[in-house]
Amino acid sequence: MSNDDLRIWLNHFEYHAQHARHVPSGLTDHLTAAERSSVAGSIATFQLGEQSEGAALLRAAERFARAHDMTSLLRVFEFFVREEQRHAALLGAFMDDHGIARKRRDWTDRMFRCVRRLAGLELCVYVLISAELIGKVYYRALEAATGCQRLRVLCRILVCEELAHVGFESQLLLALRARRSAPVRALMRLAHRTFFLATASVVWLTHRPVLRSSGYDARSFLRSCLAQYSFYLEPPAMTVAHTSLR
């Protein structure tokens, strides 16, 4: 990933910061009692996860940018964090309008935050992309689990913006991975896939009502999450060869 690549990503995030997507007014905004019971706690957990200040990530990005002369990297991550916080605000506004209580803490959120605090940039991004790849599957399931137009459009906005996030994160991770020896790459892949599968399994266990409402069982949910993982982080060898840091 060169500085030219980073400038492209910086332009993307700057543009979308200035032209933020929003949920149009005039959409129906009704949750049935059954839908509210199914989705309320689940949405609250994801909203909590989206609202991180990103201090550990930004510190790691600053150190990495200095060490590798990647001048735009920190700015990209600053815009990235702000977009995640805007996701939290959109979800929070929906929750407030529907009387859904916000969470102050959740053990899954604490687990992710603890790992990120102890990590350098590469591990931070591995943790982030795990959450976002699984989040893409979750938000599509949430959209399918409700007839509320406002919530359905909100889910589409989140998935759309997560697509850019995982595109950036995967390009960076593949570039970093390409610099490693083959045995190290294999070990890292095994460790990350194990972490990813464990995380997806936890999401299944803690968000079953929403996922089942949209037609998932444990096997199909994990299969969908792994398909996302493979698409972004296990591309053909020729693609990887062209992503190494210059």
Q: How many Cβ atoms are within 10 Å of 219's Cβ, its own excluded? A: 9
Would you say 41 and 33 are in contact if contact means Cβ atoms under 8 Å apart?
no
Domains, the chain, with CATH or none: 3-15+33-241 (1.20.1260.10)
**120: Cβ contacts below 8 Å, ≥ 6 apart:** 60, 63, 64
What's the CA dihedral at 245, 12, 224, 150 to 10 degrees?
160
- The string of pLDDT tens digits covering residues 153-176 is 999 999 999 999 999 999 999 999
Angstrom distance (rounded) from CA 188 to CA 180? 10
Q: How many Cβ atoms are within 10 Å of 239's Cβ, its own excluded? A: 10
Write out the DSSP string of 64-83.
Answer: HHHHHT-TTHHHHHHHHHHH
* Predicted model pTM: 0.88
**138: Cβ contacts below 8 Å, ≥ 6 apart:** 46, 203, 207, 210, 211
- The string of pLDDT tens digits covering residues 38-70 is 999 999 999 988 887 788 889 899 999 998 888
Length of the chain: 246
